[in-house]
Amino acid sequence: MTSPELSNGATSSSSSTSRGQQQRNNPYYPTPTELVALALYPTLLLFGTLFSFLNPSVRSSPYDFISQSHVQDSGAVPSYFARKDNLFNVLFVKRAWFWITVSFFGFLLTHPGYNGVRGGSGSGSGMGSKVRATVRWALVTLWWVFVTQWFFGPAIVDRGFRVTGGKCQEAQGRVNAQVKADSMPGPVGGQGGEGGNVVDVAGFKEFVTAAACKAAGGKWQGGHDISGHVFLLVLGSAFLVQEVGWVVAKHYWRRNVRDERTVVMHDGAVKSAGTDLPRETTTGEEKRWDDYSPEMDEAREAREVVVAGGGLWDALGHGGKMVLGVVGLSAWMLLMTAIYFHTWFEKLTGLLVALMGLYFTYIVPRFVPALRGIVGLPGL
Protein backbone atom coordinates (compact mmCIF):
# COMPACT_ATOMS: atom_id res chain seq x y z
CA MET A 1 0.00 0.00 0.00
CA THR A 2 1.37 3.35 -0.99
CA SER A 3 1.99 5.78 1.85
CA PRO A 4 0.31 9.21 1.77
CA GLU A 5 3.71 10.81 1.53
CA LEU A 6 4.68 8.80 -1.53
CA SER A 7 1.26 9.22 -3.04
CA ASN A 8 1.32 12.98 -2.55
CA GLY A 9 4.86 13.15 -3.88
CA ALA A 10 3.95 11.19 -6.97
CA THR A 11 0.89 13.39 -7.51
CA SER A 12 2.98 16.52 -7.06
CA SER A 13 5.63 15.24 -9.47
CA SER A 14 2.96 14.29 -12.02
CA SER A 15 1.31 17.69 -11.70
CA SER A 16 4.67 19.43 -12.08
CA THR A 17 5.46 17.39 -15.20
CA SER A 18 2.03 18.12 -16.62
CA ARG A 19 2.43 21.85 -15.97
CA GLY A 20 5.92 21.77 -17.55
CA GLN A 21 4.54 20.15 -20.67
CA GLN A 22 1.66 22.62 -20.85
CA GLN A 23 4.02 25.55 -20.42
CA ARG A 24 6.27 24.50 -23.26
CA ASN A 25 6.28 26.94 -26.15
CA ASN A 26 5.03 25.93 -29.56
CA PRO A 27 8.08 25.09 -31.74
CA TYR A 28 6.29 26.52 -34.79
CA TYR A 29 6.23 30.03 -33.35
CA PRO A 30 8.79 32.43 -31.82
CA THR A 31 9.18 32.26 -28.06
CA PRO A 32 7.71 35.00 -25.83
CA THR A 33 11.16 36.58 -25.47
CA GLU A 34 11.64 36.54 -29.24
CA LEU A 35 8.22 38.11 -29.76
CA VAL A 36 9.11 40.94 -27.39
CA ALA A 37 12.34 41.56 -29.32
CA LEU A 38 10.61 41.36 -32.70
CA ALA A 39 7.88 43.75 -31.53
CA LEU A 40 10.51 46.51 -31.53
CA TYR A 41 10.48 46.61 -35.33
CA PRO A 42 6.77 47.28 -36.00
CA THR A 43 6.81 49.64 -33.01
CA LEU A 44 9.60 51.73 -34.55
CA LEU A 45 7.90 51.69 -37.96
CA LEU A 46 4.54 52.68 -36.50
CA PHE A 47 6.03 55.44 -34.36
CA GLY A 48 8.02 56.80 -37.30
CA THR A 49 5.01 56.76 -39.62
CA LEU A 50 2.83 58.55 -37.07
CA PHE A 51 5.59 61.08 -36.41
CA SER A 52 5.83 61.85 -40.13
CA PHE A 53 2.10 62.51 -40.23
CA LEU A 54 1.95 64.62 -37.08
CA ASN A 55 5.18 66.61 -37.19
CA PRO A 56 4.56 69.96 -38.95
CA SER A 57 8.02 70.25 -40.52
CA VAL A 58 7.90 66.74 -41.97
CA ARG A 59 4.31 67.08 -43.14
CA SER A 60 4.94 70.40 -44.88
CA SER A 61 8.12 69.26 -46.64
CA PRO A 62 7.62 68.36 -50.34
CA TYR A 63 7.72 64.61 -50.93
CA ASP A 64 8.80 62.91 -54.15
CA PHE A 65 6.92 59.63 -54.56
CA ILE A 66 9.20 58.54 -57.40
CA SER A 67 12.37 58.67 -55.31
CA GLN A 68 10.43 57.73 -52.15
CA SER A 69 12.00 60.59 -50.20
CA HIS A 70 11.57 64.24 -49.44
CA VAL A 71 12.80 66.64 -52.10
CA GLN A 72 16.57 66.67 -51.67
CA ASP A 73 16.93 70.43 -51.47
CA SER A 74 18.82 71.92 -48.55
CA GLY A 75 16.04 74.40 -47.93
CA ALA A 76 13.18 71.91 -48.16
CA VAL A 77 14.52 68.78 -46.48
CA PRO A 78 13.05 68.53 -42.95
CA SER A 79 16.07 66.93 -41.27
CA TYR A 80 19.67 65.94 -41.86
CA PHE A 81 18.54 62.30 -41.67
CA ALA A 82 16.02 62.93 -44.44
CA ARG A 83 18.91 63.49 -46.85
CA LYS A 84 20.03 60.46 -48.81
CA ASP A 85 23.64 61.68 -48.61
CA ASN A 86 23.79 61.85 -44.82
CA LEU A 87 26.90 60.12 -43.50
CA PHE A 88 25.00 57.47 -41.55
CA ASN A 89 23.17 56.42 -44.69
CA VAL A 90 26.26 56.52 -46.91
CA LEU A 91 28.75 54.89 -44.55
CA PHE A 92 26.50 52.53 -42.59
CA VAL A 93 23.20 51.67 -44.29
CA LYS A 94 24.61 51.45 -47.80
CA ARG A 95 27.31 49.13 -46.46
CA ALA A 96 25.19 47.53 -43.75
CA TRP A 97 25.83 43.92 -44.69
CA PHE A 98 29.57 44.52 -44.41
CA TRP A 99 29.16 45.81 -40.84
CA ILE A 100 26.74 43.02 -39.97
CA THR A 101 29.15 40.39 -41.27
CA VAL A 102 32.21 41.88 -39.56
CA SER A 103 30.48 42.17 -36.19
CA PHE A 104 29.04 38.65 -36.44
CA PHE A 105 32.35 36.97 -37.20
CA GLY A 106 34.06 39.14 -34.61
CA PHE A 107 31.68 37.70 -32.02
CA LEU A 108 31.91 34.17 -33.40
CA LEU A 109 35.71 34.05 -33.38
CA THR A 110 36.35 35.78 -30.05
CA HIS A 111 33.50 35.03 -27.67
CA PRO A 112 34.13 32.39 -24.96
CA GLY A 113 30.79 30.75 -25.73
CA TYR A 114 32.18 29.64 -29.08
CA ASN A 115 35.76 29.01 -28.04
CA GLY A 116 35.48 26.63 -25.10
CA VAL A 117 36.40 29.13 -22.35
CA ARG A 118 33.97 27.68 -19.85
CA GLY A 119 34.04 25.93 -16.57
CA GLY A 120 32.14 22.98 -18.05
CA SER A 121 31.59 21.32 -21.35
CA GLY A 122 28.79 22.23 -23.67
CA SER A 123 27.70 21.98 -27.24
CA GLY A 124 28.08 25.71 -27.84
CA SER A 125 31.86 25.45 -28.04
CA GLY A 126 33.96 23.86 -30.71
CA MET A 127 34.30 23.96 -34.44
CA GLY A 128 30.93 22.30 -35.06
CA SER A 129 28.97 25.18 -33.57
CA LYS A 130 31.05 27.71 -35.47
CA VAL A 131 30.34 25.90 -38.73
CA ARG A 132 26.60 25.78 -38.02
CA ALA A 133 26.59 29.48 -37.11
CA THR A 134 28.38 30.21 -40.37
CA VAL A 135 25.75 28.21 -42.25
CA ARG A 136 23.02 30.35 -40.65
CA TRP A 137 24.91 33.49 -41.69
CA ALA A 138 25.12 32.08 -45.22
CA LEU A 139 21.36 31.42 -45.29
CA VAL A 140 20.51 34.93 -44.15
CA THR A 141 23.06 36.40 -46.56
CA LEU A 142 21.58 34.37 -49.42
CA TRP A 143 18.13 35.75 -48.61
CA TRP A 144 19.58 39.28 -48.64
CA VAL A 145 21.14 38.59 -52.06
CA PHE A 146 17.92 37.10 -53.45
CA VAL A 147 15.80 40.02 -52.28
CA THR A 148 18.06 42.96 -53.10
CA GLN A 149 20.80 41.86 -55.50
CA TRP A 150 20.03 38.88 -57.71
CA PHE A 151 17.41 36.16 -57.97
CA PHE A 152 18.28 34.16 -61.08
CA GLY A 153 18.15 37.48 -62.89
CA PRO A 154 16.58 40.60 -61.36
CA ALA A 155 16.28 40.65 -57.57
CA ILE A 156 12.95 39.94 -55.84
CA VAL A 157 12.37 43.64 -55.12
CA ASP A 158 12.83 44.47 -58.81
CA ARG A 159 10.64 41.58 -59.92
CA GLY A 160 7.95 42.68 -57.48
CA PHE A 161 8.12 46.23 -58.77
CA ARG A 162 7.69 45.07 -62.36
CA VAL A 163 4.86 42.65 -61.53
CA THR A 164 2.90 45.45 -59.84
CA GLY A 165 3.13 47.65 -62.94
CA GLY A 166 6.41 49.49 -62.43
CA LYS A 167 8.72 50.43 -65.26
CA CYS A 168 11.72 52.59 -66.11
CA GLN A 169 9.70 55.61 -67.14
CA GLU A 170 12.13 57.87 -69.02
CA ALA A 171 13.94 55.00 -70.73
CA GLN A 172 10.59 53.60 -71.85
CA GLY A 173 9.70 56.99 -73.30
CA ARG A 174 12.91 57.12 -75.31
CA VAL A 175 12.31 53.62 -76.63
CA ASN A 176 8.74 54.44 -77.67
CA ALA A 177 9.91 57.58 -79.46
CA GLN A 178 12.57 55.71 -81.38
CA VAL A 179 10.25 52.85 -82.31
CA LYS A 180 7.75 55.36 -83.67
CA ALA A 181 10.46 57.17 -85.65
CA ASP A 182 12.10 54.11 -87.14
CA SER A 183 9.13 51.70 -87.25
CA MET A 184 11.40 48.72 -86.83
CA PRO A 185 12.16 46.17 -84.06
CA GLY A 186 15.58 45.40 -82.63
CA PRO A 187 18.38 47.94 -82.27
CA VAL A 188 17.03 51.38 -83.20
CA GLY A 189 19.12 53.58 -85.47
CA GLY A 190 18.36 57.08 -86.57
CA GLN A 191 19.34 59.81 -84.17
CA GLY A 192 19.67 57.32 -81.33
CA GLY A 193 17.46 59.29 -78.94
CA GLU A 194 18.76 61.91 -76.55
CA GLY A 195 22.50 62.42 -76.67
CA GLY A 196 22.86 60.09 -79.64
CA ASN A 197 22.46 56.94 -77.50
CA VAL A 198 21.23 53.79 -79.22
CA VAL A 199 18.56 51.88 -77.27
CA ASP A 200 18.09 48.16 -77.85
CA VAL A 201 14.30 47.77 -77.98
CA ALA A 202 14.47 43.99 -78.30
CA GLY A 203 16.52 43.82 -75.12
CA PHE A 204 14.37 46.29 -73.21
CA LYS A 205 12.45 43.52 -71.45
CA GLU A 206 15.72 42.62 -69.70
CA PHE A 207 16.12 46.21 -68.53
CA VAL A 208 14.23 45.56 -65.30
CA THR A 209 16.41 46.53 -62.34
CA ALA A 210 16.38 49.80 -60.44
CA ALA A 211 20.17 50.10 -60.73
CA ALA A 212 20.13 49.65 -64.51
CA CYS A 213 17.25 52.11 -64.84
CA LYS A 214 19.09 54.75 -62.84
CA ALA A 215 22.31 54.16 -64.77
CA ALA A 216 20.41 54.75 -68.02
CA GLY A 217 19.05 58.06 -66.73
CA GLY A 218 15.54 56.69 -66.14
CA LYS A 219 13.24 56.73 -63.12
CA TRP A 220 11.80 53.66 -61.43
CA GLN A 221 8.10 54.50 -61.38
CA GLY A 222 4.62 53.05 -61.14
CA GLY A 223 4.91 49.82 -59.12
CA HIS A 224 5.18 48.74 -55.50
CA ASP A 225 8.69 49.34 -54.21
CA ILE A 226 9.47 47.12 -51.21
CA SER A 227 11.54 49.17 -48.76
CA GLY A 228 15.03 47.77 -49.13
CA HIS A 229 16.26 49.78 -46.16
CA VAL A 230 13.61 48.34 -43.84
CA PHE A 231 14.27 44.83 -45.13
CA LEU A 232 18.03 45.14 -44.70
CA LEU A 233 18.01 46.77 -41.26
CA VAL A 234 15.44 44.36 -39.82
CA LEU A 235 17.03 41.23 -41.30
CA GLY A 236 20.57 42.15 -40.28
CA SER A 237 19.86 43.37 -36.75
CA ALA A 238 17.46 40.51 -35.92
CA PHE A 239 20.05 38.03 -37.20
CA LEU A 240 22.65 39.51 -34.85
CA VAL A 241 20.24 39.52 -31.91
CA GLN A 242 19.46 35.84 -32.47
CA GLU A 243 23.10 34.83 -32.77
CA VAL A 244 24.39 36.84 -29.82
CA GLY A 245 21.32 36.87 -27.58
CA TRP A 246 20.91 33.13 -27.15
CA VAL A 247 24.62 32.56 -26.52
CA VAL A 248 24.78 35.24 -23.83
CA ALA A 249 21.41 34.36 -22.27
CA LYS A 250 21.97 30.61 -22.22
CA HIS A 251 25.56 30.48 -21.07
CA TYR A 252 26.16 33.64 -19.07
CA TRP A 253 22.83 34.63 -17.58
CA ARG A 254 21.58 33.83 -14.10
CA ARG A 255 21.29 30.26 -12.95
CA ASN A 256 18.05 28.35 -13.50
CA VAL A 257 17.13 30.31 -16.61
CA ARG A 258 15.62 27.67 -18.85
CA ASP A 259 15.83 27.80 -22.64
CA GLU A 260 12.38 28.79 -23.91
CA ARG A 261 12.87 27.13 -27.28
CA THR A 262 11.35 23.75 -28.01
CA VAL A 263 12.10 21.35 -30.84
CA VAL A 264 10.30 18.51 -32.58
CA MET A 265 12.25 15.27 -32.28
CA HIS A 266 12.54 12.60 -34.99
CA ASP A 267 9.75 10.63 -33.31
CA GLY A 268 7.46 13.68 -33.23
CA ALA A 269 7.89 14.41 -29.52
CA VAL A 270 8.28 18.05 -28.47
CA LYS A 271 11.14 18.69 -26.05
CA SER A 272 13.35 21.52 -24.87
CA ALA A 273 15.96 22.76 -27.32
CA GLY A 274 19.24 20.88 -27.07
CA THR A 275 17.72 17.61 -25.94
CA ASP A 276 18.79 15.93 -29.16
CA LEU A 277 22.39 17.14 -28.87
CA PRO A 278 25.09 14.86 -27.39
CA ARG A 279 26.77 16.12 -24.22
CA GLU A 280 30.13 14.99 -22.91
CA THR A 281 30.19 13.98 -19.26
CA THR A 282 33.09 14.34 -16.84
CA THR A 283 34.06 10.73 -17.61
CA GLY A 284 34.49 11.56 -21.30
CA GLU A 285 31.46 9.60 -22.51
CA GLU A 286 28.63 11.14 -24.47
CA LYS A 287 25.08 11.20 -23.16
CA ARG A 288 21.88 13.02 -24.04
CA TRP A 289 20.28 15.18 -21.41
CA ASP A 290 16.67 14.22 -21.01
CA ASP A 291 15.02 17.63 -21.34
CA TYR A 292 16.10 19.50 -18.17
CA SER A 293 18.16 18.00 -15.35
CA PRO A 294 20.20 19.13 -12.33
CA GLU A 295 23.30 18.29 -14.36
CA MET A 296 22.52 21.31 -16.55
CA ASP A 297 22.49 23.56 -13.48
CA GLU A 298 25.84 22.15 -12.32
CA ALA A 299 27.44 22.84 -15.68
CA ARG A 300 25.98 26.33 -15.76
CA GLU A 301 27.21 27.03 -12.21
CA ALA A 302 30.71 25.95 -13.21
CA ARG A 303 30.60 28.28 -16.20
CA GLU A 304 29.54 31.17 -13.98
CA VAL A 305 32.78 30.82 -12.04
CA VAL A 306 34.60 31.89 -15.21
CA VAL A 307 32.63 35.15 -15.45
CA ALA A 308 32.23 35.73 -11.72
CA GLY A 309 32.17 39.40 -10.84
CA GLY A 310 31.14 40.42 -14.35
CA GLY A 311 27.72 41.46 -15.51
CA LEU A 312 25.95 41.27 -18.81
CA TRP A 313 28.22 43.95 -20.30
CA ASP A 314 31.30 41.85 -19.58
CA ALA A 315 29.53 38.72 -20.79
CA LEU A 316 29.05 40.28 -24.24
CA GLY A 317 32.78 40.34 -24.86
CA HIS A 318 34.42 42.63 -27.38
CA GLY A 319 32.61 41.05 -30.32
CA GLY A 320 29.25 41.27 -28.57
CA LYS A 321 29.78 44.95 -27.84
CA MET A 322 30.45 45.63 -31.50
CA VAL A 323 27.27 43.72 -32.36
CA LEU A 324 25.37 45.84 -29.85
CA GLY A 325 26.61 48.98 -31.58
CA VAL A 326 25.56 47.71 -35.01
CA VAL A 327 22.12 46.69 -33.72
CA GLY A 328 21.63 50.04 -31.98
CA LEU A 329 22.58 52.03 -35.07
CA SER A 330 20.36 49.80 -37.20
CA ALA A 331 17.40 50.53 -34.93
CA TRP A 332 18.08 54.28 -35.15
CA MET A 333 18.34 54.25 -38.95
CA LEU A 334 15.21 52.10 -39.14
CA LEU A 335 13.40 54.82 -37.23
CA MET A 336 14.79 57.48 -39.59
CA THR A 337 13.62 55.42 -42.56
CA ALA A 338 10.17 55.12 -41.00
CA ILE A 339 9.94 58.90 -40.61
CA TYR A 340 11.42 60.19 -43.84
CA PHE A 341 11.31 57.48 -46.53
CA HIS A 342 8.78 55.23 -48.28
CA THR A 343 5.05 54.77 -47.77
CA TRP A 344 3.71 52.78 -44.83
CA PHE A 345 2.81 49.84 -47.08
CA GLU A 346 6.29 49.69 -48.60
CA LYS A 347 7.78 49.68 -45.11
CA LEU A 348 5.36 46.95 -44.04
CA THR A 349 6.30 44.70 -46.96
CA GLY A 350 9.99 45.29 -46.25
CA LEU A 351 9.38 44.11 -42.68
CA LEU A 352 7.40 41.04 -43.75
CA VAL A 353 9.97 39.93 -46.34
CA ALA A 354 12.72 40.19 -43.70
CA LEU A 355 10.67 38.13 -41.24
CA MET A 356 10.21 35.42 -43.87
CA GLY A 357 13.97 34.88 -44.05
CA LEU A 358 14.31 34.92 -40.26
CA TYR A 359 11.48 32.41 -39.83
CA PHE A 360 13.10 29.92 -42.19
CA THR A 361 16.53 30.29 -40.58
CA TYR A 362 15.57 30.22 -36.90
CA ILE A 363 12.09 28.73 -36.49
CA VAL A 364 11.79 26.07 -39.21
CA PRO A 365 14.83 24.09 -37.90
CA ARG A 366 13.02 23.70 -34.59
CA PHE A 367 10.35 21.49 -36.16
CA VAL A 368 12.43 19.98 -39.00
CA PRO A 369 15.09 17.75 -37.37
CA ALA A 370 16.99 17.15 -40.62
CA LEU A 371 17.44 20.88 -41.19
CA ARG A 372 18.32 21.41 -37.52
CA GLY A 373 21.13 18.91 -37.92
CA ILE A 374 22.66 21.18 -40.59
CA VAL A 375 22.05 24.72 -39.34
CA GLY A 376 21.72 24.07 -35.59
CA LEU A 377 20.31 26.59 -33.14
CA PRO A 378 22.16 29.61 -31.70
CA GLY A 379 23.71 28.92 -28.30
CA LEU A 380 23.62 25.14 -28.69
Q: What angle do CA 14, 15, 19 make, to 5 degrees?
A: 120
* CA terminus-to-terminus distance, the chain: 45
Please, what's the largest Cα pairwise distance for the chain?
105
The span from the CA of 288 to the CA of 375, in Å, is 19
CA 237, 238, 241, 247 dihedral sign is negative
229 Cβ contact partners less than 8 Å away, ≥ 6 residues apart: 93, 333, 334, 337, 341, 342, 350
> Crossing angle of helices 40-54/312-340, nearest 10°?
40
Q: Between the CA atoms of 98, 87, 234 and 349, what dihedral angle is there, to the nearest 10 degrees?
A: -120
Beta bridge partners, 168, equal 220
Any catalytic annotation for residue 229? yes
Q: Among candidates 219, 228, 231, which has minimal Cα distance to 64?
A: 219
Q: Between the CA atoms of 117, 122, 125 and 129, what dihedral angle is there, to the nearest 10 degrees?
A: -170
Annotated catalytic residue: which of 70, 111, 251, 342? Answer: 342
Annotated catalytic residue: which of 70, 111, 229, 251? Answer: 229
The span from the CA of 358 to the CA of 242, in Å, is 9
Any catalytic annotation for residue 70? no
Query: Taking a C-beta distance cutoff of 8 angstroms, is the pair 207, 171 a contact?
Result: yes
Q: What angle do CA 65, 66, 69 make, to 5 degrees?
A: 55
CA dist list (Å): 35 to 29, 104, 136, 139, 320: 9, 22, 20, 21, 21
Query: Taking a C-beta distance cutoff of 8 angstroms, is the pair 325, 205 a contact?
Result: no
Enzyme catalytic residues: 229, 342
